[in-house]
Amino acid sequence: MISYIKRLFEDTTRENRQNADSQETLIACLALLIEVSKSDHDIDPQEIQQIVTLAGSHFNVAKEQQSQLLKLAKSLSKQATSLYEYTSLVNEQYSDDEKYSLILAMWKVAFADGRIDRYEEHLIRRVADLIYIPHIQFIQAKHDALEARQRLTPRDST
């Protein structure tokens, strides 16, 4: 009986630790999206809106939690001294597909204001390198984000 309770406690503790790690990684990913939005020294409202949209659609954050998590991500972004603080968590927790998905989300934020600044591209490239995304996937994510943006943006009919 004692061993059962001990095992149950260990399983619960392990599950709580995994949930905490997952939450911490999510906040790090949101902070990376914020880093993209501020990398060109012009935080555009469209980029912030894109981050909010991605929090819900891409990272499955419930609407009630989005504001709190984005505040935590902004705070982390202000305090961080290097990209390693974010990317180490991503490397520990994410699969290759999830890492690609993160780079795609970063491109979507960069494209939100209709233009890619060289600082945005440089930041995304650095993150892709730090999370071991091959260059071809970096380019594919950029292409996919641009294609998604073009589908959402009505074309000029003139």
132 backbone φψ class: left, alpha, beta (φ>0; ψ -120 to 50): left
Residue 142 structure tokens: 């950029």
Nearest Cα neighbor of 107 from 42, 58, 156 is 58
Name the superfamily (CATH) of residues 27-151: TerB-like (1.10.3680.10)
Reported as a single tens digit per residue, the pLDDT across 47-100 is 999 999 999 998 888 888 888 888 888 888 888 889 998 999 999 999 999 999
Whether the pLDDT of residue 116 is over 50: the answer is: yes
Q: Give the Cα separation of 129 and 133 in Å (integer).
A: 6
